[in-house]
Structure 1
Amino acid sequence: MTDTSLAAPLDSQTWPIAVCMHGFPPVGRDGTALHDAAPEVWDDVFGQVARLGFTAIELADSHIRPADLDASRREELLSIARAHGVTPISVHVQRQSVIQPGRGEQNLAYAHRTIDAAAELGLQVFSTGLHQPFSDAQRRALWFWTATGAVDPDDADTRALAVKRLRELGEHAASVGLPMSLEMYEDTYLGTADSAVRLIEEIGLDNVGLNPDIGNLVRLHRPIEDWREMHEKTLPYANYWHVKNYTRDEAPDGTWYTSTPTSMELGLINYRAMVARAIELGFAGPFLMEQYGGDSLGVCATNRTYLQSLLPEPAGA
């Protein structure tokens, strides 16, 4: 499950480490969406990424939708990125659940188009999940994870539909040589370690694995599973990994919980231990540096340096 067909052996200098797009506004000051922006705007994005030392980026469809770019714009995107020495290595389809009420079939068709676009762009991973658009309460909250969003129903037929549609996407991804990674996220069928693992096993395809983004769960203002146990259960199925961290505190009697974003090194999750365990279990997928709030790009760069210190040294070093 962890084989991503990347060149091996990987080390601190060759392991693919991408940056997220959270540090860039999805809509510019002039009201133009980044997806539709002029080439000079894209040039600035990739220029900033390169100046921070990143050579890879994840295309989040909240910012740029590869499926909705025509062939000339896709080529323009690649050309601008390459000019800065940056490679788009993954696409992340978010909040477009294939079981979203009233939109599941439409989202499924969009995901299929995204897989084709990812293959055309030469990306290495198709990433998605089952989380849905923000609720009004989430849009109003300082941190969206402190408010209640959509919840996947405890219903066998709906879960079976999720398995069926995700398997369909996985088979499509396999046909174009792409691994598919499913992001863990609260209140979905990927919202607990046991449920996420069971979903991967129900889909039953070698190219479909987990994005064990336990940070999505550590930040919740509610009781959570032990982060060590969640990693132990999910890392054997990991083929792509969004990494981020949060401080977390809670009252012993469960009357309050709090969390805020921080660097990988300072948060609750001990990534030194978890990265070592992942490698021991055979993880060989790309990492994605993710950060909410503050200077997202700067923290991602700090986190990349920290992560590289945890990865194997180059042979002969």
Structure 2
Amino acid sequence: MPYTADNWPITAALLQFSGVDAQGRAVNDADASHWRSVFDEVREAGFANADLFDGWVKPGDLSTQRLEELLRTANEASIGLPSISAIRRSVIDAEHGEDNLAYSHRTLEAAAALGCRVVSFGLHQALTPEQQKQLWFWTVEGHKDPMANRETWNLAVKRLQELGRHADELGLLMSLEMYEDTYLGTADSAVALVKDIGLDNVGINPDVGNLIRLHRPIEPWLEVMEKTMPYANYWHVKNYIRDEDVARDYYVAMPAPLESGLISYRKAFEIALANGFQGIICTEHYGGDGLSVSSTNQRYLREKILPRTSDYTLGTSRVRQG
């Protein structure tokens, strides 16, 4: 039965929560009471589910006992944990690629232990020192994958295939997050990468918000949606107000609620449903009270965008859905 506005799984991104607690301990080492306080905030904001963003907690680095404690704490707070987003741990990082691959495998194992359904990985790498100085890190260019280097492309395919097979053995979907200047940085490249990986449990996380926020010319968001949605199996949704003055080579973007930015999520979901999308949705927002804006985004989706009944026409996806 296709999802409807009432039962579509939507998670809160945990971007606003620090990776250390008030005592300066890494969240992985914090008391379960700290985890509970975050889950309580998420629940009070109106969410039934959270995405375990690994900038907050790193499930792949938790012991079996601590994973059980994390799951028990989430259950006590009535928060589901259907997804993990592991970021900035590229498996083709020239220096840390092998370590990141091992971490990614551990993250898959942790996801299975927690009862998750999907893990999102990416090829974006650590923020550069210059990016860390900015109000908005995306205003400065960071790492770039070597686009013309077939050897590195093939390494990405090989290692992501390895992760995809492991995910399948664990009963998980794997999604690859779009991000600028990586092999997942354009619609054509992201689709080509998923095709080369060739596993039906590996799809695209069409986080087009990562692309439209760039202070430079961008690929039209509608074209990106139309090309990537046949392969989408998980979705980070966020939006940005964007202005361009091409004659002056001027481009600016700032975070905005879903209904207020450049991307029309009404049109985006029309494309998604036409291509069989039935994946988990993760609401994100940078800056300010991001959790509250994410909550507003969830209400917008449920009240105005997602189908009210299940008798809508659902297209056929080219990858497995949740």
Q: TM-score range by the shorter chain?
A: over 0.9
For 2:99 and 2:27, how far apart are their aligned partners in 1? 23
Secondary structure of residue in 2 paired with 1:186: coil
Does 1:312 find its partner at 2:271? no
For 2:187 and 2:310, how far apart are their aligned partners in 1? 35
Q: 1:37 aligns with which of 20, 30, 43?
A: 30
Q: Give the C-alpha shift of residue 315 in structure 1.
A: 5.6
| Aligned pairs for 1:96-245 within 5 A | 96-154=89-147, 155-245=149-239
Q: Give the C-alpha shift of residue 23 in structure 1.
A: 2.1
Q: Give the C-alpha shift of residue 80 in structure 1.
A: 1.2
Does 1:279 find its partner at 2:285? no
Percent identity over the alignment is 51
Q: Is the 8 A contact 1:179 1:207 kept in 2?
A: yes
Select between 23-32 and 219-228 the one with higher mean Cα deviation. Answer: 23-32
For 1:236 and 1:275, how far apart are their aligned partners in 2? 12
Partner of 2:315: none
RMSD (CA atoms): 1.1
Secondary structure of residue in 2 paired with 1:253: helix
TM-score normalised to structure 2 length: 0.94
The superposition leaves residues 132-176 of structure 1 with CA deviations (integer Å, 9 ceiling, x where unpaired) of 000011111110000111100120100010011001100110111
Aligned-partner residue type, residue 257 of structure 1: Y
Misfit runs of 4+, over 4 Å: none
Q: Give the C-alpha shift of residue 11 in structure 1.
A: 0.6
Select between 141-150 and 20-29 the one with higher mean Cα deviation. Answer: 20-29
Q: Give the C-alpha shift of residue 187 in structure 1.
A: 0.5
Q: Give the C-alpha shift of residue 34 in structure 1.
A: 2.0
TM-score normalised to structure 1 length: 0.95
For 2:25 and 2:291, how far apart are their aligned partners in 1? 21
Q: Give the C-alpha shift of residue 254 in structure 1.
A: 4.9
Q: Is the 8 A contact 1:223 1:254 kept in 2?
A: no
Q: Give the C-alpha shift of residue 107 in structure 1.
A: 0.7
The superposition leaves residues 108-146 of structure 1 with CA deviations (integer Å, 9 ceiling, x where unpaired) of 111111111111111010110100000011111110000
For 2:20 and 2:49, how far apart are their aligned partners in 1? 22
Q: Is the 8 A contact 2:239 2:257 kept in 1?
A: yes
| Aligned pairs for 1:54-93 within 5 A | 54-93=47-86
Secondary structure of residue in 2 paired with 1:137: helix
Secondary structure of residue in 2 paired with 1:242: strand
Secondary structure of residue in 1 paired with 2:266: helix
- Name structure 2 gaps, 5 residues minimum: 312-322
For 1:234 and 1:17, how far apart are their aligned partners in 2? 20
Aligned-partner residue type, residue 129 of structure 1: G
Q: Give the C-alpha shift of residue 312 in structure 1.
A: 1.3
